[in-house]
Amino acid sequence: MTHTDIQAVDDANRAFYEALERGDFEELTSLWLAPEDVAYAEDADPDDAEDTSISCVHPGWPVLTGRGEVLRSYALIMANTEYIQFFLTDLHISVVADTALVTCTENILSGGPAPEGGEELGPLVGQRVVATNVFRRTRDGWKLWSHHASPVLAESEDESDLDAEIDRRLDEGPGGGIGGIDGNLGDDGSPA
Amino acid sequence: MTHTDIQAVDDANRAFYEALERGDFEELTSLWLAPEDVAYAEDADPDDAEDTSISCVHPGWPVLTGRGEVLRSYALIMANTEYIQFFLTDLHISVVADTALVTCTENILSGGPAPEGGEELGPLVGQRVVATNVFRRTRDGWKLWSHHASPVLAESEDESDLDAEIDRRLDEGPGGGIGGIDGNLGDDGSPA
């Protein structure tokens, strides 16, 4: 591993999040490992192409496998996201030979389209998510082989949040809205 | 990639979950990548040992990095788990050169110690979790480099669970317990 490797992996990881922020689907597509990337690797057999599938887990989702499923999920997310920004913290990069393992905390600020189709942005939501991203070195730079992101639930806090939400609903009576699992950002802004 | 590779990775992955089921901390320790495993790899520089840290994300937790943090977390989990069983489904294995990427659904049935220190088991809890496990080939077999597990929240279903829980509490009056995010097991047993 060299400083150059670390830098190149860091760049590839940032490019991934920047493509999401810009909603740049074409760029995002080019950052994920494709069968031809693996066939180019010196020690790979072209017959292996089908067994090197990419995989992706969005927070709270089941596993998506293969370029079709993974890229469709991003198209769907982009269509439903008006605004998204990632503040990456706790970045850690390990490299062994041609594989890199990146872990980071994604402090996310996002907003959907305006609820009534108006011109304003939907409500902004803060989320603290942790990610493990696996990259492979290819002729064309480091490409994403796997992305797994999950919510940081901070269990005991969530149970009290849930209790508070239930108390609020009990006070309010039927018909109150429910927030889902978010709002972790800004509790303290730092990793647990 | 050969069938032998796939089989060996599958074995290593099963050994990991079986060690957790048995609460076999020593076996578990031996299954995680150690700095000396990487130094043995033909293309690794021994100076790299510090940069090949293992990482681990338990469902809802932040990232743990390095053998100290990761293994301590398992000691803690084992101490608080009386019974745990993993039913693995949706297993998918990709291998490129000396790295293997495994994704699976962990259908978990677990129980803590009895609440009042009695001899009986605490209540059993079902959970549906998805995992991405990254293995490295070493002289000593395939070793775990990264484990990332996260709850499958199936958002809309969870909201109805919450609604059902609230209805139950309304019926029951104050003082009812709350289950947290679990009970996904058995809804259909297949990925969403």
In a structure prediction context, what are the per-residue pLDDT tens digits for chain B, which is 192 residues long? Answer: 567 999 999 999 999 999 999 999 999 999 999 988 886 555 555 554 446 899 999 999 999 999 999 999 999 999 999 899 999 999 999 999 999 999 999 999 998 777 766 667 778 889 999 999 999 999 999 999 999 999 998 754 444 454 454 455 445 443 333 333 333 333 333 333
Mutate to test the interface with A, among B32, B96, B147, B169 (most CBs of A within 10 A): B96
Cβ-nearest to B62 among A55, A62, A130: A130
pLDDT for B164: 53
Q: What is the ipTM of this complex?
A: 0.76
Measured between CB atoms, which of B57, B59, B90 is closest to A132?
Answer: B57
Q: Do A98 and B103 touch (CB under 8 A)?
A: no
Contact A111, A78 (CB under 8 A): no
Q: Which CATH number fits domain A3-172: 3.10.450.50, 1.10.3720.10, 2.130.10.30, 3.40.720.10?
A: 3.10.450.50
* pLDDT higher at A70 or A51: A70
What's the confidence (pLDDT) of residue A156? Answer: 46
CB contact under 8 A, A146 and B159: no
Mean pLDDT, rounded, for A95-99: 93
Look at A53-67, A93-107, B101-115 and tell me which has the smallest mean pLDDT. Answer: B101-115
Share of chain A above pLDDT 90, in %: 58
- Residue A82, pLDDT > 70, answer yes
The alpha-carbon gap from B48 to the nearest alpha carbon of chain A, in Å, equals 7
- Stretch among A73-87, A115-129, B72-86, B163-177 having the lowest mean pLDDT: B163-177
| SS3 label, residue B9 | helix
The Cα–Cα gap between A39 and A36 comes to 5
Query: How is residue B50 written in tokens?
Result: 């510090």
Contact B101 A145 (CB under 8 A): yes
Worst-scoring range by mean pLDDT, A7-11, A97-101, A166-170? Answer: A166-170
Nearest chain B Cα distance for residue A31, angstroms:
18
CB contact under 8 A, B105 and A62: yes
What residues contact A8, with CB distance under 8 A and at least 6 apart? A141, A142
Of the CA atoms within 13 Å of residue B137, those in its CB half-sphere come to 19
pLDDT at B169: 46
Q: How many angstroms away from the CA of B163 is the closest CA of chain A?
A: 9
Nearest residue in chain B measured CA to CA from A5:
B51
DSSP code string of A100-116: EEEEEEEEEEEEEE-TT
The pLDDT assigned to A38 comes to 80
Rounded mean pLDDT, A69-97: 95
Contacts of B161 in chain A (CB under 8 A): none
User: Nearest by CB to A134, which of B92, B134, B181?
Assistant: B134
CB A68 within 8 A of CB B106: no
Q: How far is B64 from chain A (nearest CA, A)?
A: 9
Question: Do the chains contact at B57 and A130, CB–CB below 8 Å?
Answer: yes
Contact (CB<8Å) B1/A191: no
Torsion, CA A60, CA A61, CA A66, CA A67, rounded to 10: -80
pLDDT category of residue A35 using cuts at 50, 70 and 90: confident
Tell me which H or E stretch contains B59. none
Q: Give start and end residues of each alpha helix (H) in chain B.
A: 3-22, 25-31, 35-40, 66-79, 155-172
Taking contacts as CB-CB distances below 8 angstroms, the residues of chain A near B101 are 55, 134, 145-146
pLDDT of A171 reads 53
- A&B contacts, CB < 8 Å: 194
For B31, other C-beta atoms within 10 Å of its C-beta total: 19
The more confident residue out of B121 and A167 is B121
**Closest residue of A to B128, CA-based?**
A62
B186 three-state secondary structure: coil
Is-above-0.80 flag for pTM? no
Residue of A nearest to B103 (CA): A63
Nearest to A159 among B101, B154, B180 (CB): B180
**Cβ-based contacts of B61 with chain A (< 8 Å):** 130, 152-153, 192
